[in-house]
């Protein structure tokens, strides 16, 4: 009998942060690496294994209860990530597959490849999310996005017209009431990302070029994007 498992393909920063944050939800957490595991020290809560893209996945199904598992496809090479998603979906028709995409075009390809849910990210967003995952409230929000039957999306939006806020500070804006979205993090142009309710962010005026990491439903995100005068990065 296999274990209820989280199988994470990709030993990059984001994949490893996922591993650290799902250890309390699964009996078994494994990070799969294409590049070898010699440089990694096995953690008490999860382990590393090697794999290659030519596998038929028989060893995977013999070790894990796939119908009760979740797979994260987070390879840095997008073409390999798409191929991996196709291969895993072909082998496991009913498993939940969460795939990461660098842009909306790749997100569409991953959906066609069989991903259950796709999260479009860019390098900057990945760095911000990795930092945010260390905060319990953000872990709860991402848990709802990844695991629940939800249409919530997580996107990065650039501010193109800061005048839309009328000179208000972030602490004065009712994000959910006025815009139907949850702003998690903000990065002022040229500075490091900050949690939206941190002391640094609450009382700094929003400026053109600032980035928001936002959770919401697609229609609300589209309206918020228009409000900011920009687009999803």
User: What residue segments make up the domains of the chain, in order of their start?
Assistant: 5-120, 123-233
Fold annotation for 5-120: Rossmann fold (3.40.50)
- Residue 168 in this model has a pLDDT that exceeds 80: yes
Which range, of 13-17, 110-114, 120-124, 215-219, averages the lowest pLDDT?
A: 120-124
Determine the pLDDT at residue 5: 87
The whole-model pTM stands at 0.57
Burial 74-106 (b: 16+ CB within 10 A, else e): bbbebeebbebbbbbbeebeebbbbbbbbeeeb
Q: Kindly state which CATH superfamily the domain 123-233 is placed in.
A: Regulator of K+ conductance, C-terminal domain (3.30.70.1450)
What Å distances lie between residue 101 and 72, 118, 128, CA to CA? Answer: 12, 7, 15
Asked whether this chain's domains 5-120 and 123-233 adopt the same fold, the reply is: no
Determine the pLDDT at residue 129: 55
More confident residue, 134 or 71: 71
Mean pLDDT of 132-150: 57
Residue 31 near residue 15 (C-beta atoms within 8 A): yes
Dump pLDDT digits (tens) for 179-195.
Answer: 888 887 787 766 666 66
């Amino acid at each position: 009998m296999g274990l209820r498992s989280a199988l994470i393909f990709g030993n990059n920063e984001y994949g490893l942060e996922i591993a650290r944050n799902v250890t309390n939800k699964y009996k078994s957490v494994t990070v799969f690496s294409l590049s070898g595991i010699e440089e990694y020290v096995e953690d008490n809560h999860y382990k590393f294994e090697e794999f290659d893209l030519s596998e038929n996945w028989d060893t995977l199904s013999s070790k894990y209860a796939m119908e009760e598992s979740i797979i994260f496809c987070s390879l840095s090479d997008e073409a390999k990530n798409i191929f991996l998603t196709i291969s895993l979906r072909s082998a496991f028709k009913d498993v939940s597959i969460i795939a990461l995409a660098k842009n909306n075009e790749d997100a569409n390809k991953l959906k066609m490849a069989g991903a259950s849910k796709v999260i479009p990210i860019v390098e900057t967003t990945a760095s911000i999310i990795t930092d945010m995952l260390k905060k319990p409230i953000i872990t709860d929000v991402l848990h709802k996005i990844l695991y629940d039957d939800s249409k919530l999306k997580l996107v990065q939006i650039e501010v193109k017209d800061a005048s839309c806020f009328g000179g208000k500070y972030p602490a004065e804006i009712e994000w959910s009431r006025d815009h139907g979205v949850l702003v998690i993090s903000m990065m002022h142009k040229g500075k490091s990302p900050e949690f939206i309710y941190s002391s640094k962010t609450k009382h700094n005026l929003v400026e053109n070029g600032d980035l928001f990491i936002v959770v919401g439903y697609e229609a609300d995100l589209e309206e918020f994007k228009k409000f900011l005068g920009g687009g999803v990065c």
